[in-house]
Structure 1
């Protein structure tokens, strides 16, 4: 129950960050950086009486219906929930904190902040095995009927939206929109990697037994032991290999430093670990 509540909380945090990044930073500057929110921003110029939240909601519902008709009920409950919740959050922000002008006069700064906040939210959703729906559905349709890879499909759709933004807001805003699409791709990947990064640690020490006990009983992690022989000394050593979280690695490193200052340690970043004590298989 506690884990379900945590997942539900993260789902709402991710949805709110996506909505807030768009509403506070991208929308006031007319930066349609792809996605269903970017498309709603373009459409808002033709239907100014409709709020952005309502436009996003209408587009979300239309795309969900098209998706169910053309590719079936392949969308998870989380994706459907976020597809509806994000436009309601945008609508709520419009009511609670109406904006009549951009927060600052520096469009580039607001582009960076908007993309960073929104992409962090999207990364949280992806990490929860969800998405914001929207143009993801169009990419799935292209993949289903034209065998186009999802990534390429999204890129084509976002590029088309930036072309619409250029025609609606001018070449400068169109260039900002294209830059935003590029930044989104890098930011989402970076944040997702940051969520799941662990440390693969290889340790050679004369006190391997003490290190094993610390890993197993203090850090409550597993370890693998194998015997290696030095190429120069011809001496045999026990090599301890373990995978730990970043904070656990700091504890392990400090412990080994006090135990055996002459120990030899190599560390590698591991961006995904599946199994007991880490992420589970979906």
Structure 2
């Protein structure tokens, strides 16, 4: 399968999963967790507008404005994801059962399923447009980071929904759903095989390296640096291990040199020998 066909198939699957989450959990329970889907949920409950149609009505002018500000290279995938998501919501709505009217369950399961869908869309280099485009424009025009712009816009949408529905509790639940969605998106994007990266500075790097290779079976890389205070050249080690090997790694370093300076950092996705294949 060609790359472009694989990407569009992945984007389509992701949008269908997202549409299912909206129809099954979020829309029927008035959980407007940000984005144009959140505003469309408000319009649906206030005036009976179809959610997908309302989303397209908002996404189209946003897309035109984004192209003018960001250029034509903004991406056909954006338009594709937006249209397929909007159509999926309205076409699937009559056939999608509402599994629960418990607000907490709807918040959590809707957030998880939305995160899976959105994560798939992003993983296959797509986007569902909406407030993503507005955030990109704000970033371009005013220099506000994408993350802050998107968070601000989504919180504004959630606040509007709470006011329209006359319920601060629904806004609080929507914030929970938004948080769950973003966490699941990160998990889908980065994969579950996260690991820990060790940066080790010691006067006994050769011994530590031998111990790591012998006892843990992990490869190591030597880096060379210079102390900012002393000006002395020194060796450093870099080694990536799985989460279950973290404590064994700490014990090994401590046993070899209890004065070593060690930095442990998250490595969200590790590709190559001993981890996920490229």
Q: Same fold (TM over 0.5)?
A: yes
Conserved in 2, the CA contact under 8 Å of 1:45 and 1:168? no
Task: Name the structure 2 match of 1:216.
Answer: none
Shift of 1:51: 1.1
Asked if 1:29 corresponds to 2:22, the answer is no
Moved more, 118-127 or 197-206: 197-206
Shift of 1:192: 2.2
Task: Name the structure 2 match of 1:177.
Answer: 174
Task: Name the structure 2 match of 1:106.
Answer: 102
Paired with 1:191 and 1:91, the residues of 2 have a C-alpha distance of: 26
Deviations along 1:258-280, one digit per CA (max 9) or x if unpaired, are xxxxxx8xxx9732347899798
Shift of 1:162: 0.9
Conserved in 1, the CA contact under 8 Å of 2:116 and 2:185? yes
Moved more, 178-187 or 154-163: 178-187
Shift of 1:5: 3.9
Q: How does 1:106-145 map to 2 (within 5 A)?
A: 106-145=102-141
Q: How does 1:178-193 map to 2 (within 5 A)?
A: 178-193=175-190
Task: Name the structure 2 match of 1:19.
Answer: 19
Asked if 1:270 corresponds to 2:267, the answer is yes
Shift of 1:42: 1.2
Shift of 1:136: 0.6
Conserved in 1, the CA contact under 8 Å of 2:11 and 2:120? yes
Equivalent of 1:204 in 207, 213, 228: 213
Asked if 1:168 corresponds to 2:132, the answer is no
Paired with 1:29 and 1:38, the residues of 2 have a C-alpha distance of: 12
Deviations along 1:146-197, one digit per CA (max 9) or x if unpaired, are 1111111011111111111111112221221122222223332233222564
Task: Name the structure 1 match of 2:55.
Answer: 56
Paired with 1:148 and 1:191, the residues of 2 have a C-alpha distance of: 26
Task: Name the structure 2 match of 1:7.
Answer: 7
TM-score, with structure 1 as normaliser: 0.69
Paired with 1:182 and 1:130, the residues of 2 have a C-alpha distance of: 21
Paired with 1:127 and 1:269, the residues of 2 have a C-alpha distance of: 20
Change (3 A) 1:169 1:77: same
Conserved in 2, the CA contact under 8 Å of 1:60 and 1:133? yes
Task: Name the structure 2 match of 1:71.
Answer: 70
TM-score, with structure 2 as normaliser: 0.70
Q: How many residues align?
A: 235
Moved more, 56-65 or 144-153: 56-65
Unmatched runs of 5 consecutive residues or more in structure 2: 199-208, 223-237, 246-251, 253-264
Paired with 1:195 and 1:123, the residues of 2 have a C-alpha distance of: 13
Change (3 A) 1:80 1:144: same
Shift of 1:32: 0.2
Change (3 A) 1:200 1:167: closer
